[in-house]
Structure 1
Amino acid sequence: MLLGRATAIGANKLVLLFPRNGSSAPTSMMTTLTRRLVQPLLSCSGKTLCRDSGQYLSMQLRQISNHSKTLVDKNILIYRNDGFTFFRVVGVFALAQLGFWSYLTYSAYTSMTDSRKFELAKYGPEGAPSDKKNWTTLSGIRMKLHSGVWRYAITALCVVVGGVIFTGALTYSKKCIHRIVLRKGGDRITISTFGFFGQPWSFTVPVTNVSCQHSRHGVRTQLPIKVKGHSFFYLLDKEGKLYHAPLFDQTVGMKRMLLS
């Protein structure tokens, strides 16, 4: 009975690592790993198996998990999303906003001149009376907005708003995942993002440096993925195609404790 339980646990572990999709490579991997787990158990006596089965089975499962990484003998495409058109539109929008707010910045700085000359020409050296410097008349609004404080405040506001919109669009494009590739050996992954104007940008990190914050079944639109040493989260759109779901769950889709 214990041998049957051990075989079932080993088989379930292997099914998670290598789904049965009809290809011969995963089948041969499953056969090899099953033999590594079951064959030593068959050679043990009943008493020895009952006494040491828990420790032995735990050790064998850890060895299988480590050994499975070496059986990835080529690069495997796990996920892909071809949304280049949308991110090119995002790039055009970012450039348009940058130009628009740059023009407002220039206009605010050059056209909002000091109102002292206007007051001197209209009211003389004594300046405008206090009841004229209000927001109820056109001349009062002009004197209010053309003061040095308002001039520099509006100029700075235009710079900040334009910069935030442009940087936000660029960052969003760079954080949306285009594809994920599991590298040969199974211990590293390459993440490619869309980049600015849909120009792919990629990097390679160890699998242990990647943490998925939620289960892929627990979100509807975008799955946040944290990479150690990178600011902000990377976003995986569920509209993309997931080629190897169990392999994704065992590599990128696992939640890990990252120190930084």
Structure 2
Amino acid sequence: MNRLLFNRSILNSSFLVRNYTVKPLTPPLRNIVKEPSRLIYKPIVYTFSTNGLKQFCRSNGSYAPLNIDTNLAKDVIVFKYNNPRYFKMMNIFGLAQFFFWLICSEFTLSNLRNTPINEGAPNFADLPLYLRVNLGENKYKYGLAIGCFMFGLVILGFVWTFTLRNVRYLILRKGGNKVAFVTYGPFGTNRIIDVPLNCVSAVTARESGASSLPIKVKSKRFHYLLDKQGEFTNPKLFDHVINVKRRI
């Protein structure tokens, strides 16, 4: 039983652990109750000296403040991702899909004929579905035509939205109060938007495992995406100024 108890001389004294001053709040042995059949132990609360903790963190470089000048004398590129070929091929795919489904919609309107179905035929129930339904009726014909057109439009809209939200260059403007998002365009041209810094908020940390880093911009419906295959040309400035979660 004596082996289960702490040494009285250790528990009743203060000691130093790596610059941390540790001392018990109450006499530790009062928290141990012995009975013939069981041993009840209540945890002991220790206080740590904040000065020792700060000294330890400063010595390891994790507590030192960031001495970064955000009052820039000129525009600074903090991120870049040059991959125009990928977005060019994606937009060609989106346009091809849109025209394909547009042709399907036009074919449906012009070639489906209203052919009556003889529902009283003896083998009517055994026929395939497309032979038991009169696709030439207006409700089916216009429904298929509108469905094909909308499907192609959704694909094209997704491709264009994804292209317009992928950041090619992220530039911190002169003075450090605004940030410029240079994104790809559907037809190969760049699109530039200047946003005040207090209207930009990071969603996740730069070290997260996701393939893209989303950035939320006030009054914009979708997030701007920074592909991690790109290059953070000034990571310290990016983390200190842009990769910050703000209430917007």
TM-score past 0.5 threshold: yes
Distance in 2 between residues matched to 1:175 and 1:133, nearest whole Å: 56
Closer/same/farther in 2, CA of residues 102 and 133 from structure 1, 3 Å limit: farther
1:105 has 2:95 as partner: no
In 2, the alpha carbon distance for the partners of 1:247 and 1:115 equals 69
- Work out the CA distance in 2 between the residues paired with 1:165 and 1:234: 19
Give the one of 52, 65, 75 matched to 1:13: 65
Contact 1:98/1:163 (CA < 8 Å) preserved in 2?
yes
More helix, by proportion: 1
**Structure (1 or 2) with the greater strand fraction:** 2
Q: Tell me, yes or no, if the aligned pair for 1:133 and 1:143 is still in contact at 8 Å.
A: no
TM-score scaled by length of structure 1: 0.67
Q: Deviations over 1:125-171 (max 9, x none)?
A: xxx24347957437971752222221111111101101100111111
Supply the RMSD in Å over aligned alpha carbons: 2.6
Partner of 2:114: 114
Q: CA deviation at 1:94?
A: 1.1
CA gap of 1:133–1:250, structure 2 versus 1, over 3 A, is farther
The correspondence for 1:222, drawn from 204, 212, 217, is: 212
Q: Does 1:164 align with 2:216?
A: no
Gaps in structure 2 of 5+ consecutive residues: 1-50
Q: After TM superposition, what 4+ stretches of structure 1 lie above 6 angstroms from structure 2? A: none
Name the CA distance, whole Å, in 2 between partners of 1:90 and 1:135: 45
Choose the corresponding residue for 1:200, options 167, 186, 190: 190
2:113·2:135 contact (CA, 8 Å) conserved in 1?
Answer: no
1:150-196, CA deviations, whole angstroms, 9 ceiling, x for partnerless residues? 11111111011011001111111001110101011011010111111
User: Aligned partner of 2:150: which letter?
Assistant: V
- Structure 1 segment 64-213 matched on structure 2, within 5 A: 68-70=69-71, 72-116=72-116, 128-131=118-121, 134=124, 136-137=126-127, 141=131, 143-213=133-203
Task: Check the 8 A contact 2:102/2:152 in 1, yes or no.
Answer: yes
> In structure 2, do the counterparts of structure 1 residues 187 and 132 end up closer, same or farther at CA, with 3 Å as the change threshold?
farther
Q: How many residues align?
A: 191
Bigger relative contact order (CA 8 A; separation at least 6): 1
* Cα shift at 1:112: 1.1
How high is the sequence identity, in percent, across the aligned residues?
26
1:170 and 1:210 map into 2 onto residues whose CA distance is 22
Match of 2:230 among 226, 232, 240: 240
> Alignment partner of 1:106: what SS?
helix
1:244 CA drift (Å): 0.7
Q: TM-score, normalised by structure 2?
A: 0.70
Q: Which moved more, 1:133-142 or 1:248-257?
A: 133-142
Gaps of 5+ in 1: 18-67, 120-127
- Contact 2:105/2:148 (8 A) holds in 1: yes
Greater C-alpha Rg:
2
